[in-house]
A and B are shown apart, each in its own frame.
Chain A
């Protein structure tokens, strides 16, 4: 089967705009979690989140060519990340026009719509803007971006909750391997919304303090927002363009666990199967894995299930692992792509990023995540986990390009 390479990447998160800014924050252990300034929710003084430090109208200035892009937080965050991904790949416009675009999101344009929704459904107000009326779905943003960047050849949008962009990346890789496309831009975007923060609050799995992944006293997640995209290319495309890959996407696996509508099974069977499948797909063994960017949301259920899955799959030889959700918050759809980029940064810089706020090992499984930056860490293969609502689990495996 043909190899799939990553040749470009771009991102925005609570740690800042751009891949380099994000890496700087990770190695200086600087968290992006705090109380929101821009989110219009009564809960914003109670629940810390990973918010991007710019009002929506300010985001235009980060775009070289804002064109006719809508003043939508979702669209602008994604556009900033896409601009960087395409620039790092050095992809000329004529190639962009041939590439596929697989986006993902969990609530689409909800942030733009929820404050004006009453007007939208009021029959006495006959005129509404098409941008707002049509944007309460997941495809609206994808199409805005596709038109703006000329990525209209083959477009799709995935929504599988917290594993959305991991599944977008998997679909992109499979479209390349299936011979349908040579180049695909894959990733995801979500913004903080009143809808989502109330949704997770109703599930009672949000921490009122900074989240503590894999800690015995963890008490839930912090939500975040962001966008991240990877440029994937086939082996043939690399040979033709001569571009040097940043890394290889060597393995991936989507495995849905039929256990509970929102919670993982206590023994983490879904997580186990997803990680195992990704390693097998790459033709590697558990001994080859240098580092794991865990899902690690810091919810009671996820972290123990993921820890049991790690123990079951790796036995006594669990590789160093960490969760960057303690920096960015849980960004939902883009989290898989954001953490894919962190995994590739680990490979490129031979370093591993630590978890923040960790103090005490979980008594059920004695596992210690990485708590200090590891340099010269001998990183060859990094596993990145995204486990979602509805049992939708996905793991990606990135390998060093020699």
Chain B
């Protein structure tokens, strides 16, 4: 064993200032869009897949427009529009997104067209929408906003980099606010590929049994999440103190880095009121979560979220959306409770997530 002191820090983020979440929007398998909250009635997975509960897009776009728009173009545009509307901002200073896979339905459609028409004359729309940064451009176009704009495409680090980038922009004084978010979908074809690779459970499982299934694999999910981040505290839902990402750490590196991360923000494990973690019911990755949850104090609540939204590259977006609402309302949804604590006043919330044991991320939030 390497001692904690000699173990090299992954990186330091001492110079990055906290930022504030002004508004947060979610479109996922649950109807989180209508009331911008977790609904009382939850939808269960069908054959180990939780699929989008789509909003009424006709309120936003004409039938002609909708016909050309891919699934993620629709969820992404509408979540971004409402997120900006909630914040009362029509021209953000930056638009930054993260996506693991981008619009797979457009990618697959264009691959299919290439085969079907033997590389003849093809409709360019699916090619354009398959481009990972097309949604960013369309959001800018829709709001007439020319600004800093980029897209991160690194699996379970995609949303994290989009948020880190926004935090850097504020520290640099280049922006006062930023629209940051993530978008992901599952397609029938990609479900098959991932099934062959062991991403999903063999037998169908109900969401409520997912976290105690004791087998490998998870259930697939989809989600689009947007956040308006700003550098000032006014009208904020919550404060995002920092993010720490770790690639394929050992269990020891994971706990040492988590402790360091808290310490950098002047906190210890005893200060954590809520741990919101990404257990996905796959026993292969249970040890990571057990190791982290063993650190939190007795009074802290331990919550999970993937039984509600499913597993996907950017599922942490659901956790961040939920965390912002928990901190704003000071209410803990029962359906997320893994272990009920006694903490009443919620001041510090830690999100810990990993995507199939490869990309690990911590988010520290507060009020």
- Which A residues are closer than 8 A to B by beta carbons? 41-43, 97-98, 100, 105-106, 108, 114, 117, 120-123, 125-128, 130, 133-134, 136-139, 142-143, 146-147, 152-161, 167, 171, 174-175, 177-181, 194-195, 198-199, 201-203, 254-262, 269-270, 273, 388-392
Which chain A positions have C-beta within 8 A of B140? 256, 258, 391
Given A137-B101, A171-B165, A254-B149 in contact, is the A198-B127 Cβ separation under 8 Å?
A: yes
Whether A121 lies near B124 (C-beta < 8 A) is: no
Whether A391 lies near B132 (C-beta < 8 A) is: no
Residues from 130 to 175 in B contacting A, C-beta threshold 8 Å: 130-134, 136-138, 140-141, 143-155, 157, 161, 165, 168, 171-172
Which of A120, A179, A257, A392 is close to B133, meaning CB atoms less than 8 Å apart?
Answer: A392
The CA-CA distance from A198 to B110 in the complex, in Å, is 9
Which of B15, B95, B131, B245 is close to A256, meaning CB atoms less than 8 Å apart?
Answer: B95
Min Cβ gap B9→A in Å is 9
Which chain B positions have C-beta within 8 A of A123? 192
A-B interface, 8 closest residue pairs, ranked by CB to CB distance from nearest:
A390-B137, A256-B149, A179-B15, A199-B127, A202-B124, A159-B132, A138-B153, A258-B140
> Which residue of chain B has the shortest Cβ distance to A154 in the bound complex?
B11
The CA-CA distance from A120 to B196 in the complex, in Å, is 9
Whether A155 lies near B157 (C-beta < 8 A) is: yes
* Interface core residue of A97, A128, A157, A390 (most chain B CB under 10 Å): A390
The CA-CA distance from A269 to B147 in the complex, in Å, is 12
21 inter-chain pairs at a CB distance below 8 angstroms, sorted by A residue, are: A41-B119, A120-B193, A139-B100, A139-B154, A155-B247, A157-B154, A171-B150, A171-B165, A174-B168, A178-B172, A179-B13, A179-B16, A180-B12, A180-B13, A180-B16, A201-B122, A202-B123, A256-B140, A259-B141, A389-B137, A390-B149
Q: Does B358 contact A (CB under 8 A)?
A: yes
Whether B119 lies near A114 (C-beta < 8 A) is: no
Q: Does B111 contact A (CB under 8 A)?
A: yes
Min Cβ gap A299→B in Å is 14
The CA-CA distance from A188 to B127 in the complex, in Å, is 21
Whether B119 lies near A390 (C-beta < 8 A) is: no
Q: Does B14 contact A (CB under 8 A)?
A: yes
Which of B14, B128, B147 is close to A261, meaning CB atoms less than 8 Å apart?
Answer: B128
Which chain B positions have C-beta within 8 A of A105? 153
Given A158-B150, A160-B133, A255-B146 in contact, is the A203-B171 Cβ separation under 8 Å?
A: no
Whether B133 lies near A390 (C-beta < 8 A) is: yes
* Interface core residue of B14, B144, B149 (most chain A CB under 10 Å): B149
Q: Does B189 contact A (CB under 8 A)?
A: yes
Min Cβ gap B173→A in Å is 11
> Which residue of chain B has the shortest Cβ distance to A120 in the bound complex?
B193
* Interface core residue of A106, A137, A392 (most chain B CB under 10 Å): A137
Which chain A positions have C-beta within 8 A of B130? 199
Which of A139, A171, A195 is close to B111, meaning CB atoms less than 8 Å apart?
Answer: A195
Whether A256 lies near B10 (C-beta < 8 A) is: no
Given A106-B132, A175-B168, A202-B123 in contact, is the A261-B114 Cβ separation under 8 Å?
A: no
Which chain A positions have C-beta within 8 A of B149? 160, 254-256, 390-392
Whether B134 lies near A261 (C-beta < 8 A) is: yes
Which chain B positions have C-beta within 8 A of A167? 150
Q: Does B8 contact A (CB under 8 A)?
A: yes
> Which residue of chain B has the shortest Cβ distance to A142 in the bound complex?
B154
Min Cβ gap B164→A in Å is 8
Min Cβ gap B24→A in Å is 23
Q: How many residues of B contact A (CB 8 A)?
A: 63
Whether A174 lies near B151 (C-beta < 8 A) is: no
Which of B118, B161, B189 is close to A156, meaning CB atoms less than 8 Å apart?
Answer: B161
Q: Does B287 contact A (CB under 8 A)?
A: no
Whether B155 lies near A137 (C-beta < 8 A) is: yes
Whether B197 lies near A133 (C-beta < 8 A) is: yes
Whether A178 lies near B189 (C-beta < 8 A) is: no
Which chain B positions have C-beta within 8 A of A260? 141
The CA-CA distance from A136 to B196 in the complex, in Å, is 14
Which chain A positions have C-beta within 8 A of B11? 100, 153-154, 180-181
Given A137-B101, A180-B11, A390-B133 in contact, is the A194-B119 Cβ separation under 8 Å?
A: yes
Which chain A positions have C-beta within 8 A of B193? 120-121, 128, 133, 136
Which chain B positions have C-beta within 8 A of A158? 150-153
Whether A256 lies near B152 (C-beta < 8 A) is: no
The CA-CA distance from A257 to B157 in the complex, in Å, is 26
The CA-CA distance from A260 to B142 in the complex, in Å, is 10
Whether B161 lies near A391 (C-beta < 8 A) is: no
Whether A128 lies near B197 (C-beta < 8 A) is: yes
Whether B148 lies near A255 (C-beta < 8 A) is: yes
* Interface core residue of B100, B141, B146, B171 (most chain A CB under 10 Å): B146
Min Cβ gap A80→B in Å is 22
The CA-CA distance from A120 to B189 in the complex, in Å, is 9
Which chain A positions have C-beta within 8 A of B95? 256
Whether A42 lies near B147 (C-beta < 8 A) is: no
Other A-B pairs beyond A174-B172, A391-B137, 11, CB < 8 Å: A42-B118, A106-B132, A122-B192, A136-B107, A158-B150, A171-B150, A179-B14, A198-B110, A199-B124, A199-B127, A260-B141
Which chain B positions have C-beta within 8 A of A133? 193-194, 196-197
Given A130-B197, A156-B161, A171-B150 in contact, is the A138-B133 Cβ separation under 8 Å?
A: no
Which of B10, B101, B197 is close to A154, meaning CB atoms less than 8 Å apart?
Answer: B10
Q: Does B121 contact A (CB under 8 A)?
A: yes
Min Cβ gap A396→B in Å is 14
The CA-CA distance from A117 to B133 in the complex, in Å, is 23
The CA-CA distance from A157 to B323 in the complex, in Å, is 26
The CA-CA distance from A127 to B101 in the complex, in Å, is 22
Which chain B positions have C-beta within 8 A of A202? 121-124, 127
Whether B143 lies near A258 (C-beta < 8 A) is: yes
> Which residue of chain B has the shortest Cβ distance to A256 in the bound complex?
B149
The CA-CA distance from A191 to B147 in the complex, in Å, is 29
Which chain B positions have C-beta within 8 A of A262? 128
Min Cβ gap B12→A in Å is 7
Q: Does B248 contact A (CB under 8 A)?
A: yes
Which chain A positions have C-beta within 8 A of B14? 179
Given A181-B11, A203-B127 in contact, is the A256-B110 Cβ separation under 8 Å?
A: no
The CA-CA distance from A17 to B107 in the complex, in Å, is 31
Whether B134 lies near A198 (C-beta < 8 A) is: no
Whether A256 lies near B148 (C-beta < 8 A) is: yes
Whether B147 lies near A256 (C-beta < 8 A) is: yes
Min Cβ gap A186→B in Å is 13
Which chain B positions have C-beta within 8 A of A155? 154, 157, 247
Given A127-B196, A133-B193 in contact, is the A389-B134 Cβ separation under 8 Å?
A: yes
> Which residue of chain B has the shortest Cβ distance to A125 in the bound complex?
B196
